[in-house]
Structure 1
Amino acid sequence: MARQRRLQGQSDTKLDKGTNSSSSNGSNSTNNKSMKTTSLLSYWKQIIGCIVLGIAVSLGYMGYLETRVNTPFDDKKMVVRSGLEVSEQFWGSYRPGLYFGFKTRDPASLVTGLMWYFPKRLRPGGDGIRHWCEQGDGLEKYGWLQHDGHSFGVQQIIDGAHVFDTSFVKRLGGAHGGDWTARISVDLKPNLKDSRTQNEEISLLWYTALDEETKGHISLTNSATKLTGIKGATSGLGEFTIKLTNHSGVVLHESYLSTVAPGLHLLKETVVASLRLAQDKPTAPRRIVLAGELLPEAGIEKAEPNFVAIQLTGKVPFTLDVVFESGSFGTRQDTLVGETYTKALAWHQARFTQRFEDTFGLQKRGYGPKEIGFAQAALSNMVGGIGYFFGTSKVQSFYTKEPVHYWRAPLYTAVPSRSFFPRGFLWDEGFHGFLISTWDLDLELDIISHWFDLMNVEGWIPREQILGVEALAKIPEEFVVQRNTNANPPTFFLTLQYILRKYYDKLSEGRLATLERLYPRLQAWFAWFNTTQKGSVPGSYRWRGRDPLTNRELNPKTLTSGLDDYPRASHPTENEYHIDLYCWIAIAADTLAKLANLLDRDGYKYEQTAEYLKDNVLMDNLHWSNYASRYSDYGYHTDSVKLKRPKPLPRSQNQNLEMIRVTLKNPEYRLVDSTFGYVSLFPFLLQLVDPDSLKLGQILDDLRNPDLIWTKYGLRSLSKNSPLYMKRNTEHDPPYWRGQIWININFLAVRSLHYYANTEGPYREKSEKIYQELRANIINNVMSQYFKTGYLWEQYNDETGEGSGCRPFTGWTALTVMLMGEHY
């Protein structure tokens, strides 16, 4: 008010001046403008401040979103005991990608293993040296015959005319995981004993290596014999020695290599680069030997070796014992070598045989020694194929411009195939869990714990685990990055469902504690699925990860579903939804509800979700085709597509143009009911169809129809009258899930037939009849192909029953053992 009165007084004393006087109007105008300017500046400062704050908050939030993809789930760790805290599991055959090798469950483990070659057959570039399991090696057979997952294993390898019997036995003692001995015996096949390959020379190489993070040292040593040994020390093992003992046969020559290898994935290449021709005496034959000490200079002092290999060349038959002894073991009554080893191995084998019969009861079911030997081998390859990996995945989210590294973590997991897929796969591991938990529940809970420690804060688990340099070396770069929009079937819910049924009254306090820690992670996993994979229609679900822009694929793949090239809607859109994913979510909710009940948790919302999704009315409204009488996906679809090579451009007749998809008829939104196969069966496979439903009767009829998916070897993945049956998806990609027989889905089918055969309803007898037929068909063919080829296979031909895909594939194909023992 004072300012207002002053201005008013000044105006009164100057009334004689003209109203247009610059003196009169200029004074008032200046003050008003000053007030307005100050006010505007203050206003804009506030606006700018808000904008800056908003940008800062937005950038901060975007930064937060960027970090979520590689931020661990914030709760109790699943793995509470590892490494030397579980001494009986510390050492193992945890390098499944090798023919024969060992490491510890230690992030920075010493590794050791076998290479071999026949000098007369060694070719330039090291071709002929065996190390990693390679399909290109063309071995007639390799695989574990017996392996208990803990203490011992027996493996047979057939390389040309020669049979390798490799085995190991562990002995606990001391503070660093105890001792072990490995035995390698090489002989001719029995029918070739008198052939010209008798007494052929063979070179066995046993090596020890440290990775770049292992703190320790290794060096050569000599024992009382002429044979060279290895000694060393690491933070995880303390001091140790490795002694090589010639158990039988004649050692013709011995050489060694002590050097620096550039990585665990290049050990064979390091050996190849060091091979030399040498003579002991002018009159002696020239031999291929290792080069001795090859250490690069590092300043004044030589670098410490991280790779030591010993080569023994002998005449077949030949047997080598490799004895690892821990410095902390204390006083040993005897060394695990020679006859002591032979007796220890025989004891473990007898114990394994009895335990196997107690678990699966195959002898009681009338199986003979040959069939039981097959089943033991299938189980043993599953547990013998368990690996221990450590490293970091590459992941990417919508908010990261480039792939980023996941946190460094271990993974203890079985693998689908030692040759082709020697790493962890999320949906495979759920199937593996059926067999592993039947054999050893605690082993399976340990595996589940490691997998769920890989969950990020969003509740996502990368579907393929490529941890460590050895795993990375076996996969093309384009498959390395995992994207957090992409799911994989949550098969661990099936594993847990099976565990709850089988062991409900046998869960010890420790096992219940594991499930208690698991429960919040399962909740987060379910929530992630239920939000990120939901469809555009209430109650529907859609697999992400399909490429809507590709013109190379006849039908864009759905890798995230686990069924790769199985035909879906021809033109991916956000409005499609998938029946198999619907069923997976229903089973997940149901399993969570049952687990909540066991743990005395509030599982009401999961019970409600399960009831909602298991309601056949909802499922039928979304996915049942009245026209085709089958369950189907829904999407933007046409069957009128084909691959066609474009015409070359003018004057470019030498162009090699890749075939592209041509759409002959416009797609429309519809049920994809012209296709019948595994996806159509999912409501049946996961036991969601009501036992008294007419639709169950229709499914059973279709399942048993030889013109559709029924064969005398098992159920084919796609019916013969489906438009894309056995069609290539690109000119380079042969059919994969378009007709071949897959044992994991056949296992689910047999399991469901058993369920419906033992549940009140009008289709019990029909289910029982088909159950007996299908079970017998699968078992007989898988065994027949094993005896014929030496392998379990990734898939089987629907016309001949022959194994196809990669081999050995003792992942879910080993579920044949569950069928033999009728464990569901």
Structure 2
Amino acid sequence: KFWGTYRPQVYMGMKTKSPQSLVTGLMWLRQHERYQSELPLRHTCEHGDKLLKYGWLAHDGVNFGIQDVVEQGYSLRTSFVKVPGGRHGGEWTWRVTGTQVGVTGASPVTISLFFYAATDGQGKLISVVKDTKNGRYLTQINGETEELGKFKIIFPAENTGVDTRYHTVSTKAEGLHKLKEAALRKMQATIEKSGNNKDKVLYFLGDSASHRNPPGAKSDVVFHQVTLKLPFEIDIIFESETSSRKSQLSGETFTQELAQWKEKFDQNFEERFPLKDKGYDSAKIAFAKAMLSNMVGGIGYFYGHSLVQSENQKTPVKYWDAGLLTAVPSRSFFPRGFLWDEGFHQLLISKWDRTISEEIIEHWLNLLNKDGWIPREQILGEEARSKVPAEFVVQQNKNANPPTLFLAIESILKGFNKDEINEHDTRFLKKIFPRLEVWYKWFNTTQVGTAPFSYRWRGRKEGTDDELNPKTLTSGLDDYPRSSHPSQDERHIDLRCWMAVASGTMAKIAKVVDPDSAPKFEATHKLLTNHRIMNELHWSAEMGLFSDYGNHSDRVYLTRKTFQPAQPNQRPYTKMVRIEKQKPKLRFTDTFGYVSLFPFLLQILKPDSQQLTQILEDLSARDLLWTEYGLRSLSKRDPLYMKRNTEHDPPYWRGAVWINMNYLAVRALKRYSQPGSRNSEKAAKLYQELRSNLVNNIYNEYARSGYVWESYNDMTGKGQGTHPFTGWSALVVLMMSEQY
């Protein structure tokens, strides 16, 4: 697992799990087009590229992967296979296949592929080049780094046909986040006459006096440009000097290896997620395989430090340098680690390959500081930071995030042999338990409320008139309505439920690794699941729902006001501000949506409870949360349903259908549908309907648009927000296979 596709932010790239890795990657460009502005050189996954589709079709997280990238008029398939060998993490081969699609008989499309290898401040690369009639042909790159020892990257034999051309340059970049800029800086253009008297433009890599390296450039990079017409197939081979091999991993040998891994993947998938037995057709099974593959193919390795702001410091400071292996929510928009997303990711990954999941969980827990805090967003290294707006880089060390890793760990515990936990399982639990305990204690000291047994998310902005309802980013639910006027008197039902889950999971682990400590966790779990206490703190009898409590008014509005400037020579300006038409008071917020469901979502309610009966009735109502596409995040009756939070912030968690919360709802309905309670029949009916609605809509939108989405419109079912979003939206695989 040392090598991997651990660069999810690029369409195709590989690196190692090391602080200063050799990185390899692919860029491409359609030739003979007259581009008026910057060349549309494909490299990092971008919405602006407007690809028809891209993503992994099959990827096992370790040994192989097959990905399709579909452009207008052509598609590229990128495949790789890794094999063990030597003392430095094995060897691999890529295959890039180009195919023309669209109009039959159209002129062949000409593509330039740009393969590159780059160092991150250490190691060396030596190009082996020969001049031919078709250009400067790079036969191979000889290299050496501390982790890899000596190696070579071998390019295919020269094609002597007139339609293939070669260009290569060795240059420097300011860092790995500037590789595309380094290529563009070396790009030149030439005009060529064609047979139909139309000029063609060819963009190629070249050196000239004007192409100087920028000051401070630290990364050595070698680019190999191959320009050719569709269709084509090219193999690129990485070989370690310490490895001995019977034959080169290319040509027919590669084809056979890839086919064998794909066959094994299909077998393992059906064994772990038996969708044929559920009656799914081949198209939906292929979709589910793609969802899993994009989840494990979207695992990245990042190295660097966070920037942290403490209330005791005037300026942010650096966290320590650390590595993080993590899945990412979205390769295009969120190609980095998010703490609360990761717990949902591991629900799926752990069902596929528990060893990958355990390693990722350990990586996250290694980011704890001595107090027990984990930065909720991990922006490690220049490549990751280049994709993040400056205002989101600094992390506040009082701010939490839902401890969803406990969900994943609880799911892993269910897979243990209850009669005899083996040595591997015990070793894993012993590794994580001390860190989990410190993390758990941090929540119980920094996130508690003023009322006994209550909890409060920190990080809300007090005294603001810029937001309709100040965001609670730390909860993960961002603009979901809380009390209108943040105060220390708030208490949040969702955080209390998260801590109930955490307490129960800690008790289960303690029974294995530290039995003496188990009773204290069990006692806390008993308190946090006590229905009487929970109802006193959070049950709004008037509205018949679980609710946050705080200083609240439901008669606040955004309106545009004119302001006089501070300087006399400036014009008046307008902006949207919040006004109150009713003063706030301490009370239940009475908002019905995802937060109201948490005692149900996290299965804290007893199967026969009256509160569960009420929730199931409310879920059945077609004018509250229920839609044909899943449960919407906020009731249509709520005053803030689909309301903007500022003039610049459209509604986010105020009506859209989110898959992580819907997965928890489906999982809870499955549990509460077990025979033996007065609510089981109702829960069973809702389970079948909700599961069917979710699976069908996510699949239909994938078939229509080519992507899985961040959220779904509650009125139309259309995907919206970021795409592809094969983070927690990929939990559709677990819903399809009914694994909870």
TM-score range, shorter chain: over 0.9
Give the direction of change, closer, same or farther, for the CA distance of 1:351–1:532 in structure 2 (3 Å limit). same
TM-score, normalization by structure 2: 0.95
Tell me, what secondary structure is at the counterpart of 1:153?
strand
The AA in structure 1 aligned to 2:118 is A
Distance 1:360 1:666 in 2: 54
1:209 and 2:115 correspond: no
Of 263, 266, 285 in structure 1, the residue corresponding to residue 178 of structure 2 is: 266
Structure 2, unaligned runs of 5 or more: none
Q: Please state how far the C-alpha of 1:504 moved relative to its aligned partner.
A: 4.1
State the partner residue of 2:152. Answer: 241
Distance 1:250 1:342 in 2: 27
CA contact (8 A) 1:246 1:319 kept: no
Q: Separation in 1 of the partners of 2:491 and 2:569?
A: 43
CA–CA distance in structure 2, aligned partners of residues 227 and 243 of structure 1: 9
Aligned to 1:631: 546
Q: CA deviation at 1:277?
A: 2.6
Match of 2:326 in 1: 413
- Percent sequence identity is 51
Q: 1:371 to 1:396 in 2, by over 3 A?
A: same
1:495 paired to 2:405: no
Task: Return closer, same or farther for 1:315/1:251 CA change in 2, 3 Å cut-off.
Answer: same
Matches within 5 A, 1:587-666: 587-602=501-516, 603-649=518-564, 655-666=572-583
Change in Cα spacing, 1:627 to 1:508, as seen in structure 2 (3 Å) is same
1:574 correspondence with 2:483 = no
Letter paired with 2:139: T
Secondary structure of 2:28's partner?
strand
* DSSP-derived class of the 1:254 partner: strand
Deviation at 1:585, TM superposition (A): 0.7
Inter-CA distance 106–648: structure 2 relative to 1 (3 Å threshold): closer
Is contact 2:8-2:300 (8 Å) kept? yes
Q: Say if 1:759 and 1:462 are closer, same or farther in 2 by CA, change over 3 A.
A: farther
Displacement after TM superposition at 1:653 (Å):
9.7
Whether the 8 Å contact between 2:120 and 2:218 is mirrored in structure 1 is no
Query: Matches of 1:247 and 1:631 in 2, distance apart?
Result: 69
1:447-486 equivalence runs, <5 A: 447-486=360-399
Task: Determine the structure 1 residue equivalent to 2:354.
Answer: 441
Secondary structure in structure 2 of the residue aligned to 1:288: strand
Relative to structure 1, is the Cα distance of residues 303 and 501 closer, same or farther in structure 2, using a 3 angstrom cutoff?
A: closer
Alpha carbons 1:240, 1:326 under 8 Å: kept: yes
Deviation at 1:200, TM superposition (A): 1.6
Corresponding residue number in structure 1 for 2:642: 726
Aligned partners of 1:691 and 1:759 also within 8 Å: no
Paired residue for 1:323? 237
Matched position secondary structure for 1:565:
coil
CA contact (8 A) 1:247 1:320 kept: no
Q: CA deviation at 1:187?
A: 1.1
Q: In the TM superposition, what whole-angstrom CA distance separates every residue of 1:485-526 from its partner, at most 9, and x where no partner exists?
A: 000000011111111122244853123212102111111111
Match of 2:128 among 204, 221, 226: 221
Asked which structure has the greater CA Rg, the reply is 1
Partner of 1:814: 730
> Which structure shows the bigger proportion of residues in strand conformation?
2
State how far apart, in whole Å, the 2-side matches of 1:303 and 1:655 are.
46
Alignment match, 2:455: 541
Following superposition, the deviation at residue 292 of structure 1 comes to: 4.1
SS at match of 2:645: coil
Alpha-carbon displacement from aligned partner over 1:156-179 (angstroms, at most 9, x marks no partner): 111111111111000110011121
Pairing 1:174–2:89 present: no
Q: 1:658 Cα shift? A: 1.8
Calculate the TM-score normalised by the size of structure 1.
0.85
Report the equivalent of 2:423. Answer: 509
1:200 maps to which of 71, 89, 109: 109
- Residue-pair matches, total: 727
Which of 226, 240, 246 is matched with 1:333 structurally? 246
C-alpha change, 1:120 and 1:543, in structure 2 (3 Å) is: same
Among residues 261, 264, 270, which one is paired with 1:351 in the alignment?
264
What is the rounded CA distance, in whole Å, between the counterparts of 1:474 and 1:286 in structure 2? 31
Match of 1:107 among 19, 44, 50: 19
Give the CA RMSD over aligned residues.
2.3
With over 3 angstroms needed to count, the CA separation of the structure-2 counterparts of 1:654 and 1:221, relative to structure 1, is same
Q: Which amino acid aligns with 1:178?
A: G
Counterpart-to-counterpart distance in 1, 2:34 and 2:722: 26
| One-letter amino acid of the counterpart of residue 640, structure 2 | L
Q: CA deviation at 1:598?
A: 2.5
Q: CA, structure 1 residues 230+126, in 2 after alignment: closer, same or farther (shift >3 Å)? A: farther
Which of these residues, 755, 767, 775, is aligned with residue 683 of structure 2? Answer: 767
Moved more, 501-510 or 784-793: 501-510
* Equivalent residue, structure 2, for 1:565: 479
Aligned to 1:5: none
For residues 424-466 of structure 1, the C-alpha deviation after alignment (integer angstroms, 9 at most, x for no partner) is: 0000000001000000011100000000000000011110000
**Separation in 2, partners of 1:408, 1:305:** 19
| Aligned mates of 1:293, 1:652 — CA distance in 2 | 51
State the alpha-carbon separation in 2 of the partners of residues 298 and 662 from structure 1: 51
1:76-114: CA deviations, max 9, x gaps?
xxxxxxxxxxxxx01100000000000001111000100
| Aligned partners of 1:250 and 1:318 also within 8 Å | no
Helix, strand or coil at the partner of 2:14? strand
Residues 247/680 of structure 1: CA separation in 2 closer, same or farther (3 Å cut) = farther
- Residue 74 of structure 2 corresponds to 162
Contact 2:127 2:138 (C-alpha < 8 Å) held by counterparts: no
Task: For 1:118-157, list aligned pairs within 5 A.
Answer: 118-121=30-33, 123-157=35-69
Once residues 341 and 168 of structure 2 are traced to their aligned partners in structure 1, the CA distance between those partners, rounded to angstroms, is 41
- Change in 2 beyond 3 A, CA 1:507/1:208: farther
Identify if the C-alpha distance between structure 1 residues 343 and 285 changes in structure 2 by more than 3 Å, giving closer, same or farther. Answer: same
Q: What amino acid does structure 2 have at the position aligned with 1:446? A: E
SS for the counterpart of 2:603 is coil
Amino acid at match of 1:428: D
Distance 1:180 1:528 in 2: 43
Q: Do the aligned residues in 1 keep the contact of 2:593 with 2:632 (CA within 8 Å)?
A: yes
Residue pair 2:372, 2:439 contacting (<8 A) in 1 also = yes
- Unaligned ranges ≥5, structure 1: 1-88
The superposition leaves residues 594-626 of structure 1 with CA deviations (integer Å, 9 ceiling, x where unpaired) of 111132522111000000110000000000011
SS of residue matched to 2:32: helix
**Matched residue of 1:622: which SS?**
helix
